[in-house]
């Protein structure tokens, strides 16, 4: 097995987690930047359609580093797909696989269930709720909470901020309720 | 040394940004645009890590919220541990940025948005299997329909900004 094949395999948590954690000091040392990704959504609004909303009227040019960073994430995805693609399907826990089979989700070849998330299914109510509705909740909720997994759960907890702990607990409660009690009904449609 | 003064200046900046709960990164240094390329590089590496760790996988997120796998807890938990140690080291040794500026931290203010917004984001995270970072990574990896999810997230942010004064905080 050569080195490219080796790193193309899924990385275990104890490799990926510490590397993600190192993003915190790297951004601080590169220029006093506080790790946070959902801010980029606000900057896009401020750049493209600030309207007369005070929340979007600020000097976004001073925050442009954040858009470079998320642009990098996008490029990282392209590079991974081109050079580090893992030919194996995503391994799914047996209990989850059993549940998903009931909803007709059997294709694990992509990072997302491609049977649900594709351009055709945008025309269905289920696809619309999941992609458009889900995305809306992510954008609305992260800004309402003042951060997302990176800004609160990683950066906020790393600096021992209790409001970030509250936010993180609420992320998990919301996700738990949705995944176990609401999403099954959406997937059954 | 003038680092104490600079830190105080940092704190003054922080106070002005608290009500906005954002835009905390304003450095007093002016740089040419290409200095931002280092953040592009950091983003590329971060994106590759997200994908290779399957943090951007809808399936891993479902397992996490159903307590069927330790993977995501291990990733987030070990990231936080490394983050806490790094921040502690930065403070302990008074480590500076590559431009020689002292590093400062912005306190996060509590408001009820952390609860309401947190729950709403949790709902969206479980549905899409993606927080904002993974949205960009999923598009890059070739699931182009996620562009729609990302645009919808931008729309959600815009609606929040529009309604902000009327929402409980």
**Closest to B13 (Cα-Cα) out of B106, B110, B145, B126:** B106
Question: Quick check: B13 pLDDT over 70?
Answer: no
This complex has an ipTM of 0.96
Read off the pTM: 0.91
Spatial separation of the C-alpha atoms in residues B7 and B17, rounded to whole Å: 15
Mean pLDDT along residues B56-82: 96
Instruction: Verify whether the Cβ–Cβ distance B48 to A76 is below 8 Å.
Output: yes
Mean pLDDT along residues A16-26: 97
Spatial separation of the C-alpha atoms in residues B108 and B45, rounded to whole Å: 27
Question: Quick check: B50 pLDDT over 70?
Answer: yes
Interface test with A, best of B21, B34, B59 (most A CBs within 10 A): B59
**Maximal C-alpha separation, chain A:** 57
Rg (CA), chain A: 19
Reading the block at residue A129, the tokens are 């709720």
Mean pLDDT along residues A79-100: 92
Confidence of residue B31 (pLDDT cuts 50, 70, 90): confident
Q: Looking at A14-18, A108-112, B124-128, which range is the least confident one?
A: A108-112
H-state helical runs in chain A = 3-8, 13-31, 39-48, 64-83, 94-102, 125-127, 134-145, 157-158, 162-177, 183-188
Question: Quick check: B74 pLDDT over 80?
Answer: yes
State residue A5's pLDDT score.
87
CA distances B24 to A133, A134, A158, B164, Å, are 29, 28, 16, 19
Rg (CA), chain B: 19
Question: Quick check: A188 pLDDT over 60?
Answer: yes
B88 near A CB under 8 A: no
Confidence of residue B106 (pLDDT cuts 50, 70, 90): confident
Is B21 or A152 the better-scoring residue by pLDDT?
Answer: A152
Question: Quick check: B21 pLDDT over 50?
Answer: no
State residue B4's pLDDT score.
40
Tell me which chain B residue has its CA closest to the CA of residue A54. B161
Mean confidence (pLDDT) of chain B: 86
Mean pLDDT along residues A62-72: 95
Q: Nearest-CA distance from B164 to chain A in Å? A: 8
């Amino acid at each position: 097995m050569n080195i490219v094949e080796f790193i193309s395999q899924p990385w275990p948590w104890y490799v990926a987690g510490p590397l993600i954690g190192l993003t915190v000091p790297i951004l601080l040392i590169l220029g006093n930047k506080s790790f946070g990704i959902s801010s980029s959504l606000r900057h896009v609004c401020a750049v493209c359609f600030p309207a007369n909303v005070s929340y979007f009227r600020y000097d976004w040019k001073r925050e442009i580093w954040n858009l470079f960073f998320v642009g990098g994430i996008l490029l990282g995805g392209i590079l991974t797909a081109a050079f580090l693609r893992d030919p194996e399907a995503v391994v799914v826990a047996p209990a989850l696989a059993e549940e998903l089979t009931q909803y007709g989700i059997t294709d694990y070849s992509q990072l997302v269930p491609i049977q649900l998330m594709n351009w055709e299914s945008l025309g269905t109510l289920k696809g619309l709720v999941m992609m458009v509705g889900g995305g809306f909740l992510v954008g609305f909720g992260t800004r309402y909470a003042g951060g997302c997994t990176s800004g609160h759960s990683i950066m906020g907890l790393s600096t021992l901020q209790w409001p970030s702990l509250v936010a993180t607990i609420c992320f998990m409660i919301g996700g738990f309720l949705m995944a176990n009690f609401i999403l099954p009904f959406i997937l059954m449609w | 040394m003038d680092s104490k003064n600079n830190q105080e200046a940092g704190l003054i900046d922080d106070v002005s940004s608290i009500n906005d709960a954002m835009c905390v990164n304003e450095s007093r240094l002016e740089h040419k645009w290409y200095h931002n390329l280092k953040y592009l590089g950091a983003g590329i590496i971060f994106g590759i890590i997200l994908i290779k760790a399957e943090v951007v996988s809808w399936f891993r997120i479902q397992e996490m919220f159903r307590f069927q796998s330790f993977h995501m807890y291990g990733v987030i938990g070990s990231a936080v541990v490394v983050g806490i140690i790094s921040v502690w080291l930065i403070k302990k040794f008074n480590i500076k940025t590559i431009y020689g500026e002292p590093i400062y931290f912005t306190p996060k203010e509590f408001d009820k948005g952390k609860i309401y917004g947190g729950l709403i984001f949790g709902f969206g995270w479980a549905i899409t299997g993606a927080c904002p970072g993974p949205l960009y990574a999923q598009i890059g990896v070739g699931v182009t329909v996620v562009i729609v999810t990302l645009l919808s997230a931008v729309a959600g942010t815009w609606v929040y900004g529009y309604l902000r004064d009327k929402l409980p905080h």
